[in-house]
Structure 1
């Protein structure tokens, strides 16, 4: 079965009464956890993006403290998991500013964790990829924000 185009779905949703629309949303949320998380963000956290960013940072802090006792192999896996979850949360916000802020925070925590000094090329490449991603996101920001984020990025690029 082929999925319909977004424009077709948008037109069909515009014709539905509110009761049916809410029933469709609830049914969609039942089948996949990502859909439920996105719907929760849109309903409860979208107005307070700063609060949401703070909550994501706290979640990252918790994961990094749990990672401190892991061996290198498990630390790599947990680090990838943290990044995967962070990227998912970034997609929910749809904000380039939130993306830059969360990725800078991730790289800062990664640098402070001491994993970059442990001769792991994979982690070093992962870190460098995130720095490139941050630079690309910063380039699309407003000039005032660019300057602030550039200063933070320079600190991360220093050895």
Structure 2
């Protein structure tokens, strides 16, 4: 089966009634956890971005506290999982400011993590890549936000 484009889907959805669209959304939500999470964000959290950011930060704190620190292998595996989950939450929001704020928070947590990531090349490379990514994202923001986030980024580099 060939997948339809977004334009084709949009055109077809215009011809459907509200009740049919509701049924399609509910059926779509049944199939994947990500669809359910996105629908939850759009319905309940999209109007309160600050609350959403705090929720994601608290979830990230919890995930960092659960990391097995017995070896760097487990630390790397857990940090990659946290980053993957964070990127998924950022995709739901689609807000560039939220993306930068959450990535900066991730880097702060990673920098302060014990045992220090400075003792592992892979974790340091991951950290540096995220800083470069944040720097590129900051350039697309409003000037005032660029300055504020730029200061936070410099603190992370120090």
Q: TM-score, normalised by structure 1?
A: 0.95
> Aligned equivalents of 2:8 and 2:129: distance in 1?
37
- Residue 58 of structure 1 is matched in structure 2 by 58
Alpha-carbon distance, 1:67 to partner: 1.5
Gapped runs of 5+ residues in structure 2?
none
In structure 1, list runs of 5 or more residues that go unmatched: none
What is the number of equivalent residue pairs in this alignment?
157
Q: Which runs of 4+ in 1 moved over 4 A?
A: none
How big is each residue's C-alpha offset from its partner over 1:26-70, in whole Å with a ceiling of 9 and x where there is no partner?
111111111110011001100001100000000011111112644
Are residues 33 and 70 of structure 1, via their aligned partners in 2, closer, same or farther at CA, if it must alter by over 3 Å? Answer: farther
Give the equivalent residue in structure 1 for 2:117. 116
CA distance in 2, matches of 1:28, 1:70: 41
CA RMSD of aligned residues (A): 1.0
- Structure 2 counterparts to residues 45-124 of structure 1, below 5 A: 45-67=45-67, 69-114=69-114, 115-118=116-119, 120-124=120-124
CA–CA separation in structure 1 for the residues paired with 2:151 and 2:70: 32
Residues 104 and 152 of structure 2 are in contact (CA less than 8 Å); yes or no, is this contact kept in structure 1?
yes
* Residue in structure 2 matched with residue 22 of structure 1 by the alignment: 22
Q: Tell whether the 8 Å contact from 1:107 to 1:127 is kept in structure 2 after alignment.
A: yes
| TM-score of the superposed pair, with normalisation by structure 2 | 0.96
Indicate how the Cα distance of structure 1 residues 70 and 63 shifts in structure 2: closer, same or farther if over 3 A, else same: farther
